[in-house]
Structure 1
Amino acid sequence: MQAEIFVYLDIDVKNQEELFDYVSKKMVKDGYAKADYFAGLIQREQEYPTGLKTEALATAIPHTEMAFILKPFIAVVRLTNPIEFTHMMKGESVLAEVIFFLGISQAAQQLTTIQKVLSLITDKEAVQRIMSADDAAQIKSLMSVG
């Protein structure tokens, strides 16, 4: 099953918890995640941080165990102000501007979904288009390529 793409532009949150709450409520309401998705995000982020800084973008790729996901999705959130995440390998702080929530419901989807996001966040031109997009459709079209 193809992952549904959700895009939320210029979201104003103060920290990870507010961001996770915002996205969790949307995914649960739309039937893509279970009611305890928020708790799953918090727990997974504490155990396995998802911050990442590429040459093109400071980002994070939060996700949960597959048990929390009902239908596959990728939720792209562009923030009005960066929020702090911990780098997934270095343990240092990353001020993330665009966050990619991965809702992976089957192991077979994991590699292709992660590859899609990684290729996007390392592409300077694509990142520039994400940062300057006026509407969600522009980012959805970038996510659909490939």
Structure 2
Amino acid sequence: MNRKENRMDTLNNYINKDLLFLDLEVNSQEDLLRYMAKELNRRENVNEEFIKKVIEREKEFPTGLQIEEIGVAIPHSDIEYVNEPAVALAVLKNPINFYSMEDGKKIIPINVVFMLAVDDGNKQLKLLQEIMGLIQSKETLKNIIEADTKEEILELIAS
């Protein structure tokens, strides 16, 4: 198995159809984070505290990344708020502003959000690295944004 297949297999273990949100329409970063965290909570992947903590963490440690013309964010919180590891993925109908991970004063319009809920610090770091590898492909990112179905997105992540 090559390194890419290993990366995708691992991400596939954390992501599923119920946590994919296509053409999600929200009005603000906080609404977006709250929505995604509540979905993770509803599925019992995270506890109630995760919702508040992921919003607080994003304010202190922004996660926005500019990948050419596409904005990606990877919000997450501490492992103690996670019951069962998962990754939620949202493709936004309209971009929402996040601050840059690299420059906390720079605003990036975000199109794609990976919300991590991982219960082990080493797994979280590995998953962040894997997602970074995935989003380095502009073509894959564009295909995720243009996907019509959740199945298409799962296929793209698996390929």
Normalising to structure 2: TM-score of the pair? Answer: 0.85
Letter in 2 for 1:74: V
Name 1:47's counterpart in structure 2: 60
| Structure 2 Cα separation of the partners of residues 84 and 52 of structure 1 | 11
- Deviating beyond 2 angstroms after TM superposition, the runs of 4 or more aligned structure 1 residues are 141-145
Q: Deviations over 1:47-81 (max 9, x none)?
A: 10111112262111100001111111111100110
| Structure 1 Cα separation of the partners of residues 54 and 28 of structure 2 | 14
Question: Structure 1: which 5+ residue stretches go unaligned?
Answer: none
Letter in 2 for 1:93: I
Contact 2:77–2:117, Cα closer than 8 Å, also in 1: yes
Secondary structure (helix, strand or coil) at the match of 2:68 reads coil
CA RMSD, aligned part only? Answer: 1.5
Letter in 2 for 1:45: E
1:124 aligned onto 2:135: no
Name 1:16's counterpart in structure 2: 29
Question: Structure 2: which 5+ residue stretches go unaligned?
Answer: 1-9
Name 1:114's counterpart in structure 2: 128
| Structure 2 Cα separation of the partners of residues 43 and 137 of structure 1 | 32
Contact 1:55–1:122, Cα closer than 8 Å, also in 2: no
Q: Deviations over 1:26-53 (max 9, x none)?
A: 1111010101111011111111011111
1:4 aligned onto 2:15: yes
What aligned pairs does 1:44-123 form with structure 2 within 5 A after superposition?
Answer: 44-55=57-68, 57-91=70-104, 92-123=106-137
| Structure 1 Cα separation of the partners of residues 87 and 134 of structure 2 | 13
Q: Which residue, out of 31, 43, 50, partners 1:37?
A: 50
Shift of residue 141 of structure 1? 2.3
Secondary structure (helix, strand or coil) at the match of 1:36 reads helix
Name 1:27's counterpart in structure 2: 40
